């Protein structure tokens, strides 16, 4: 709540009366309200903020000393954890030199303000992005993607203001389109959702974004964010669409969803709160047509659950991100499928019978939704999991193997795109990366 | 000795407005509730209304449905304007969990 208060531009405290969670549960004993009534009365009358005006200065420098570099590094990491700025893995202290090196990766000045990070309201500058990227082990050529992702994250349409603090454990998913993906070693193939020493960019960029969510946005577990489980938060999800294996006639996600020019560099950000492998391939003597349709049904069946996570983006967002490998996309295209026809099939076959929704209590959530389109959808039987097939995000990515597809369950009021801005000296940064990482 | 200097990563905060001034007393005042209708607010806030009315002479505490309720409505500008127009001296907002 203090985060939310500072996010509104007030000093980061407030007159609050706090109770253990038990009191907020159905049938609870609420007598402590009376026992502690004077705290409410004081909040209305005598309460004063303990905090003065917050600092408006630039990011200060901290200092540690050690007999050796290793001792200084250990002390720096201890200090970072003591201040709750780390994530449990070692971080690279954001030295002046390292931050300056990373700042080469953007055409924007270091003091350029990208917005304020909810819920705490910390000001996100380009410099703060570089600091986070330094801590996350990043490099200058990653910075353009991180800056674009932060811009999208801070766009009110993303829903980050609520999702940063909400219990649903949302994590940002950043999908990259354009040649930059390959240039900076961002994964679009085998293991694209996890750390990969051959493609280290995604882990660093995602970790930097997470560190910003925590440090600038104040989203510390159980304090600034009530995310029950917090899955996929070490590195969030940052990957590229496998554009090399997009079938002829299929459009890249950045162009299809956001209208960016084909071949241009862009990111697309949505929130998800689930990640599940779906066994897509058949096991016996299916024809190609049977294999395709059975796999489509299996994916639609998986999407057809009254979990209601998709309500957050029912009208404008997404019920989730479905990833299919390039080899599957090629086969599907050969059978006449397009991204659009696949989305329409999945939308139609993931509709939930009213009876299933009713027995799971789904209508109560639909009826209290802020969106009229969502509330009106309660009249539909079977109930579509999202307002339009176009809301489903379908991405060609993953290793070149036909067995699996992947469903990132959406929890996303919007899907926000941003163009990626590169500095003039970007080719030099790529050459230096080649030298550093590939022995070139 | 080796000295390692590094940046603090949290970013500055900008206080753009002060907290609302507190009331000198609750007697004779008009108090409202802005409720998200969740987390037992429908039980706790009426209890608080009863307690306030019992403990402070001349206080007027509006019912919990005097203003729009629910997360989708309580944070918007229309609700804020409605609260302001109502002439309440203070509001209690609840519940968060």
Please state the ipTM of this predicted complex: 0.89
Query: Which residues in chain B have their CB less than 8 angstroms from residue A67's CB?
Result: 1-2
Q: Please give the pLDDT value at position B36.
A: 87
Query: Which residues in chain B have their CB less than 8 angstroms from residue A131's CB?
Result: 7, 9
| Averaged confidence pLDDT in chain B | 90
Chain A contact present for B27, CB below 8 A: no
pLDDT digits (tens, 9 = 90+) for A8-33: 777 777 889 988 888 888 889 999 99
Query: Which residues in chain B have their CB less than 8 angstroms from residue A25's CB?
Result: 40
Nearest one of A141, A107, A112, A145 to A128, comparing CA atoms: A112
Chain B contact present for A190, CB below 8 A: no
CA–CA distance, A82 with A75 (Å, rounded to integer): 10
Give yes or no for residue A440 having a pLDDT over 70. no
Name the token pair of B65.
Answer: 């449905």
CA–CA distance, A171 with A272 (Å, rounded to integer): 6
Which residues 273-302 on chain A approach chain B with CB closer than 8 angstroms? none
pLDDT digits (tens, 9 = 90+) for A73-88: 999 999 999 999 999 9
Chain A contact present for B81, CB below 8 A: no
CA–CA distance, A303 with A413 (Å, rounded to integer): 18
Rounded mean pLDDT, A230-245: 93
Query: Which residues in chain B have their CB less than 8 angstroms from residue A10's CB?
Result: 15-19
Q: Please give the pLDDT value at position A363.
A: 94
Q: What radius of gyration do chain A's Cα atoms show?
A: 24
Q: What is the pTM assigned to this prediction?
A: 0.85
CA–CA distance, A315 with A391 (Å, rounded to integer): 8
Q: Please give the pLDDT value at position B74.
A: 84
Q: Do B22 and A45 touch (CB under 8 A)?
A: yes
Phi, then psi, of B43 in degrees rounded to 5: -105, -45
Query: Which residues in chain B have their CB less than 8 angstroms from residue A6's CB?
Result: 13, 15
CA–CA distance, A3 with A118 (Å, rounded to integer): 8
Phi, then psi, of A114 in degrees rounded to 5: -95, -20
Chain A contact present for B16, CB below 8 A: yes
pLDDT digits (tens, 9 = 90+) for A47-68: 887 665 545 556 889 999 999 9
Chain B contact present for A68, CB below 8 A: yes
Chain B contact present for A73, CB below 8 A: yes
Give the whole-number percent of chain A exceeding pLDDT 70: 97
Give yes or no for residue A422 having a pLDDT over 80. yes
Q: Please give the pLDDT value at position A281.
A: 87
Q: Please give the pLDDT value at position A57.
A: 57
pLDDT digits (tens, 9 = 90+) for B8-36: 999 988 777 888 889 999 999 999 999 98
All residues at 6 or more sequence positions from A173 whose CB lies less than 8 Å from its CB, including other chains:
A236, A237, A238, A269, A270, A271, A272, A321, A408
Chain A contact present for B20, CB below 8 A: no
Give yes or no for residue A412 having a pLDDT over 70. yes
pLDDT digits (tens, 9 = 90+) for A159-206: 999 999 999 999 999 999 999 999 999 999 999 999 999 999 999 999
Q: Please give the pLDDT value at position A52.
A: 55
Chain B contact present for A81, CB below 8 A: no
Chain B contact present for A10, CB below 8 A: yes
pLDDT digits (tens, 9 = 90+) for A312-352: 899 999 999 999 999 999 999 999 999 999 999 999 999 99
Chain B contact present for A95, CB below 8 A: yes
The pLDDT profile of chain B, 97 residues, written as one tens digit per residue, is 999 999 999 998 877 788 888 999 999 999 999 998 888 999 999 999 999 999 999 999 999 999 988 877 888 889 999 999 999 999 999 887 6
Q: Do A26 and B40 touch (CB under 8 A)?
A: yes
Biggest CA pair distance of chain A: 77
State the Cα angle at A151 between B17 and A320, rounded to 5°.
115
Instruction: Return the number of CB contacts < 8 Å for A and B.
Output: 173
Substitution target from B5, B10, B40 for chain A, most A beta carbons within 10 A:
B10
Q: Please give the pLDDT value at position A309.
A: 87
User: What is the distance in angstroms between the Cα of B30 and the nearest Cα belonging to chain A?
Assistant: 12
Confidence of residue A111 (pLDDT cuts 50, 70, 90): very high
């Amino acid at each position: 709540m203090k985060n939310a208060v500072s996010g509104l531009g007030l000093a980061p405290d407030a007159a609050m009366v706090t109770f253990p969670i038990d009191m907020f549960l159905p049938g609870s004993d609420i007598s402590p309200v009376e026992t502690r009534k004077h705290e409410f009365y004081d909040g209305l009358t005598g309460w004063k903020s303990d905090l003065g005006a917050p600092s408006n200065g630039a990011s200060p420098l901290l200092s540690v000393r050690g007999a050796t570099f290793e001792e200084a590094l250990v002390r720096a990491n201890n200090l970072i954890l003591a201040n709750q700025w780390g994530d449990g893995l070692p971080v690279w202290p954001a030295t002046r030199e390292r931050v300056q090196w990373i700042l080469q990766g953007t055409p924007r000045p270091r003091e350029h303000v990208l917005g304020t990070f909810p819920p705490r309201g910390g000001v996100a500058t380009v410099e703060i992005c570089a600091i986070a990227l330094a801590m996350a082990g990043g490099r200058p050529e990653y910075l353009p993607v991180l800056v674009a992702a932060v811009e999208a994250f801070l766009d009110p349409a993303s829903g980050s203001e609520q999702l940063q603090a909400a219990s649903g454990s949302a994590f940002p998913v950043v999908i990259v389109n354009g040649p930059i993906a390959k240039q900076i070693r961002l994964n679009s193939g085998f293991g694209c959702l996890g750390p990969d020493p051959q493609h280290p960019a995604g882990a660093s960029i995602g970790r930097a974004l997470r560190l910003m969510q925590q440090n600038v946005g104040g989203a510390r577990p159980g304090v600034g964010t009530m995310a029950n489980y917090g899955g996929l938060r070490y590195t969030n999800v940052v990957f590229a669409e496998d554009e090399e294996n997009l079938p002829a006639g299929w459009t890249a996600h950045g162009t299809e969803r956001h209208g960016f020019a084909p071949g241009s560099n862009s990111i697309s950000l949505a929130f998800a709160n689930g990640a599940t492998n779906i066994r897509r391939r058949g096991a016996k003597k299916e024809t190609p047509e049977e294999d395709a349709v059975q796999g489509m049904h299996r994916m639609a069946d998986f999407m057809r659950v009254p979990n209601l996570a998709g309500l957050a983006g029912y009208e404008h967002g997404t019920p989730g991100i479905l990833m299919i490998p390039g080899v599957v996309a090629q086969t599907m295209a050969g059978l006449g499928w397009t991204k659009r026809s696949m989305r329409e099939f999945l939308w139609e076959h993931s509709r939930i019978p009213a009876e299933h929704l009713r027995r799971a209590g789904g209508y109560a959530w639909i009826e209290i939704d802020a969106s009229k389109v969502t509330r009106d959808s309660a009249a539909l039987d079977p109930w579509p999991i999202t307002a339009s097939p176009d809301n489903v995000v379908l991405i060609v990515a993953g290793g070149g193997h036909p067995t699996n597809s992947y469903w990132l369950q959406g929890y996303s009021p919007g899907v926000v795109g941003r163009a990626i801005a590169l500095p003039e000296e970007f080719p030099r940064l790529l050459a230096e990366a080649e030298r550093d990482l590939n022995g070139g | 000795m080796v000295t390692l200097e590094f940046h603090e990563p949290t970013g500055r905060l900008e206080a753009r407005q002060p907290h609302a001034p507190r009331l000198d007393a609750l007697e004779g005042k008009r108090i409202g509730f802005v409720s998200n209708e969740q987390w037992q607010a429908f039980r706790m806030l009426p209890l608080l209304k009863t307690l306030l009315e019992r403990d402070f002479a001349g206080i007027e505490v509006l019912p919990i449905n005097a203003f729009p309720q629910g997360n989708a409505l309580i944070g918007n500008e229309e609700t804020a304007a409605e609260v302001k127009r109502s002439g309440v001296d203070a509001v209690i907002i609840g519940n968060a969990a």
